[in-house]
């Protein structure tokens, strides 16, 4: 299975394409789409769309995973990232690649084990997990690989389909630890 992970941004959009074959995962390509600050927003968005489209045409990913927008204090930044996300998702949809979104916290938790991990911690773990020979130059690139890894972990987990805890417990009684009540424990 081939997964394209995207970390959207208007100046730097990170991308990472991984291939998962059973228990092994390898990087096919990773990098960033660079835009100039002097460029108009429409031209930046066009470049993001065209370059992601070219990646999709070349690698034919089975899945497309993208990080959701982070809502910080700066509304203008959130709007710009939203535009970059929009054209990124459009590229996936136009090539009929299933698109899944993950919050930054979900990605960090999946890769580092801590939803509040720093970008440097994410980069360190991505390099270790994927056994990269060198550390990618841009954090946006390793963030995109982390998004792809997060998706790889999530699709590897079976969906439970349980509507509530009661139905889960009924299906898996062996996983329930029953504590003895105090009145029975003393006898």
Rounded to whole angstroms, the maximal C-alpha distance in the chain is 79
Q: Which residue has the tokens 């998702």?
A: 89
What sections of the chain are H helices per DSSP?
41-59, 75-94, 104-111, 119-129, 139-155, 165-171, 182-185
Annotated catalytic, 7?
Answer: yes
Residues 160, 166, 170: CA angle, nearest 5 degrees: 75
Annotated catalytic, 120?
Answer: no
Active-site annotation holder among 7, 51, 106, 143: 7
Contact at 8 Å (CB) between 7 and 32? no
Structure tokens belonging to residue 167: 């139905």
Active-site annotation holder among 51, 67, 106, 143: 67
Structure tokens belonging to residue 44: 């930046």
Annotated catalytic, 21?
Answer: no
* Sheet of strand 24-34, all strands in order from the earlier edge strand to the far edge: 24-34, 12-21, 2-7, 63-67, 99-102
Active-site annotation holder among 51, 63, 106, 140: 140
Which residues are part of the catalytic machinery? 7, 67, 140
């Amino acid at each position: 299975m081939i997964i394209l992970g995207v970390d959207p941004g208007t100046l730097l959009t990170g991308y990472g394409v991984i291939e998962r074959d059973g228990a092994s995962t390898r990087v096919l390509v990773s990098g960033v789409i660079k835009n100039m600050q002097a460029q108009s927003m429409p031209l930046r968005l066009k470049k993001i769309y065209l370059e992601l489209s070219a990646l999709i045409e070349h690698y034919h990913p089975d899945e497309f995973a993208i990080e959701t927008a982070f809502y910080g204090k700066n509304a203008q930044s959130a709007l710009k990232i939203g535009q970059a996300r929009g054209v990124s998702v459009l590229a996936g949809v136009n090539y009929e690649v299933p698109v899944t979104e993950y919050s930054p916290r979900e990605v960090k938790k999946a890769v580092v084990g801590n939803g509040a991990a720093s970008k440097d911690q994410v980069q360190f773990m991505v390099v270790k997990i994927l056994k990269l020979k060198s550390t990618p130059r841009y954090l946006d690139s390793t963030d995109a690989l982390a998004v792809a890894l997060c998706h790889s972990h999530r699709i590897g987990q079976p969906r439970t389909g349980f509507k509530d805890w009661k139905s889960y417990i009924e299906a898996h009684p062996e996983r329930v630890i029953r504590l003895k009540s105090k009145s029975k424990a003393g006898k």
